[in-house]
Amino acid sequence: MSIKDKNILLGVSGSIAAYKAALLVRLFVKAGANVQVIMSEDATQFITPLTLSTLSKNPVYTKFIKNNAGEWVNHVELGLWADLMIIAPATGKTLSSLAHGYSDNLLVATYLSARCPVYIAPAMDLDMYLHPSQKRNLEILSSYGNHIIEPESGELASGLDGKGRLAEPENILEAVANFFKTASSWSDKKVLITAGPTHEAIDPVRFIGNHSSGKMGYALAEEALSRGATVHLVSGPTSLSIAHPNLKITKVQAAQEMYNAASEHFDDYDCMIYAAAVADYRPSTVATEKIKKKGADMQIAMTPNVDIALSLGKIKKPHQYAVGFALETENEALNAQSKLERKNFDCIVLNSLRTEGAGFQHDTNQVTLYFKSNKKLELELKSKREIAKDIFDAIEQSIHS
């Protein structure tokens, strides 16, 4: 799928970088896209609607307007028209309004109404961009599934030098064009992903668990969905949420339930990714009432849990591609490679608790991928969403090599 004939809705807010919107519109039109533009009132101080209307060959909207029936709905109509919305440049004020749903202008109201993927390209001065409030707003916007096109570094309008410049129009076009290219690349694939921790009950109020937040597994699910795959996410207890028409999510507590959900219809999956941190043992018995404190010591007898990846690895067919994870604290590479073999993975993703910013809870991860073919790929520390993208790129390459 390409950008040609796609409906692109460009939102322009009031930054000096608004002049780059003209170049962006031209690039989209040259690539064959249909372009409509919404400007905030402030943006019209930097570049005229006439310029963008001439380049896009469409009227430019700055205000809510009524349709022929006298209804006040142009934000809804524009939102439904778009195959993709891009907000470039997005000022600090616009980021805040988008993150908190403060729809006092047409641009933000349309963003809230849009059902399509949304790209956001911030632009602001150095210290403003570094302020924790902006970081938080971008995190919120990412967590809603928006795609952020990071600003670039260089000379800023203030004369300061650093990060904050709107990404170059060519780079924005590339990100959007890549979106359409990858959006359908997995459309005939079914993917199973396990995510999060398991909670193994001790009694009605206590359990044995671990620190997994589910962030890595959910990022993988988002990436698979963005490539057009049908995804079954089997998730242990987490505070995360995700929704998509191509997503089935099964919420579980304990390893046995995770196994039951993952093994059902196992033959249907093309790719399995085991990102969950599954408890290897569970209490042998679960007390029916809350266990009361008695004496100094207490022992809990434990029974081995089913190893989901190992069991499913035994019935994996040659056309199915399995990716395991290994969280290690010592002999990392050796342990990961032995799991790769033992559990019949095609690839294993090693993350180490010894690396700052990697593993449990963090929004970032640093991983090394080991393949059955003996290939190794070391990735730098980056967001879990970007790691998920790199893992899918690596799976694609490995399948096609």
Alpha-carbon dihedral sign for residues 393, 394, 400, 401: positive
114 binds ligand PMT (CB under 6 A): no
Decide whether 20 or 339 has the Cβ nearer to ligand PMT.
339
Structural Rg of the chain based on CA atoms? 24
277 is a contact residue toward ligand PMT (CB under 6 A): yes
Task: Write down the least CB distance from residue 202 to ligand PMT, Å.
Answer: 18
List the interface residues with ligand PMT, window 317-346 (CB under 6 A).
324-327, 339, 343
210 counts as catalytic: yes
Footprint of ligand PMT on 353-372 (CB under 6 A):
359-361
> Residue 9 or 348: which CB sits closer to ligand PMT?
348
- What angle, 0 to 180 degrees and rounded to 10, lies between the N-to-C axes of helices 74-81 and 106-113? 50
Q: DSSP letter for 296, please.
A: S
Catalytic residue among 210, 246, 335, 344: 210
Minimum CB distance to ligand PMT, residue 333 (Å)? 13
Whether residue 272 contacts residue 322, with contact meaning beta carbons closer than 8 Å, is answered with yes
Q: Which of 213, 226, 235, 398 binds ligand PMT (CB under 6 A)?
A: 213
CA angle 24, 26, 27 (to 5 degrees): 65
Name the residue with tokens 């990404």: 167
Give the angle subtended at the CA of 400 by the CAs of 307 and 387, to the nearest 5°. 60
Q: Is residue 30 classed exposed, middle or buried when 0-12, 13-18 and 19+ CB atoms within 10 A define those classes?
A: exposed
Among 36, 146, 351, 368, binds ligand PMT (CB under 6 A): 351
Q: Between 75 and 343, whose beta carbon lies closer to ligand PMT? A: 343
Pick the piece of the chain touching ligand PMT (CB under 6 A) from 1-9, 126-134, 163-171, 300-308: 300-308
For residue 230, give the H/E element and its range. strand 230-235
> Whose structure tokens read 């050796």?
334
- Which residues contact ligand PMT by CB under 6 A? 194, 196, 212-216, 255, 274-278, 280, 305, 307-309, 324-327, 339, 343, 351, 359-361
Q: What are the residue numbers of the active site?
A: 210
